[in-house]
Amino acid sequence: MDKEKENIKKINKKLHKNHLSKVNWNWIIKIVLISFIISLFMSFISNTLIPNISILFGILVTLIFIFIGIIFDIIGVAVTSSKESVFHSMSARGVKGAKLAVKFKKNSEKVSSFCCDVIGDICGIVSGAAGTAIALSLSSILNINLLTTSIFVAAVIASITIGGKAIGKSFAINNSNIILYEFVKIISIFYK
């Protein structure tokens, strides 16, 4: 029994060492900087725009942030679950965007991390901050306790986000090749 535990410890140590040596630190630094810049930009928009507009427009802007997060989550899941062979076949036939789809698929962990983690999480955080501004407005307009309003608004935002992402993931897995292809068609307009 002790011999087995010792073997398991050795294997875990070796796996851990291999995992750390495979970490792409350049990618991590880039993604942290990109996340900071995008978050700064989106937070600036959210914090300057929402408190100065009507409550209905504030709700609309918050829903847009939630929708962007859901869309990018769908794209991230689609990239990881799509079939690379489909895009190799399309590329061989000269279909526009297929080479880019292959490139995205080969880098699916980075694309998925950017779409799901960077954009998706930033949209979640920004929509939460926007929800705070909406809760403040609702509290003063309806003369309701701020704590109650904040909890209700946060619950609504969370349920819409989680429900949307749950539906989106299922949709992305079942339509991954089509979603990736449509995404690269859009990206290929800007990509050189």
What is the reported pLDDT for 47?
75
Q: Flag whether 84 is in a domain.
A: yes
Domain that holds residue 161: 26-190
Residue 154 in any domain: the answer is: yes
From residue 102, alpha-carbon distances to 16, 19, 108, 119 in Å are 30, 25, 9, 22
**Angle, CA 172 vertex, CA 170 and CA 177 arms, to 5°:** 140
| Distance from chain centroid for Cα 50 | 22
Token pair in block for residue 174: 């079942």
Residue 116 belongs to a domain:
yes
How many residues belong to the chain? 192
Q: Which pLDDT score is estimated for 1?
A: 58
pLDDT tens per residue, range 150-160:
999 999 999 99
Angstrom distance (rounded) from CA 37 to CA 20: 27
Residue 163 lies in a domain: yes
Q: For 39-66, what is the mean pLDDT? A: 83
Q: Are the C-beta atoms of 57 and 133 separated by less than 8 Å?
A: no
Residue 76 within any structural domain of the chain: yes
pTM of the entire structure? 0.79
- pLDDT tens for residues 72-111? 999 999 999 999 999 999 989 988 888 999 999 999 999 9
- Rounded Cα distance between 53 and 50, Å, is 5
Read off the DSSP letter of residue 175.
T
- Span 165-177, average pLDDT: 95
pLDDT of residue 45: 78
- Supply the pLDDT for residue 15: 58
Asked, for residue 161, whether it belongs to a domain, the answer is yes
Say yes or no to pLDDT of 31 above 90: no
- 114: closest CA among 104, 128, 100? 104
Q: How far is CA 178 from CA 75, 172, 186, 188, in A?
A: 10, 9, 13, 15
Number of structural domains in the chain: 1
Residue 150 lies in a domain: yes
* pLDDT surpasses 80 at 191: no
Q: Is residue 181 part of a domain?
A: yes
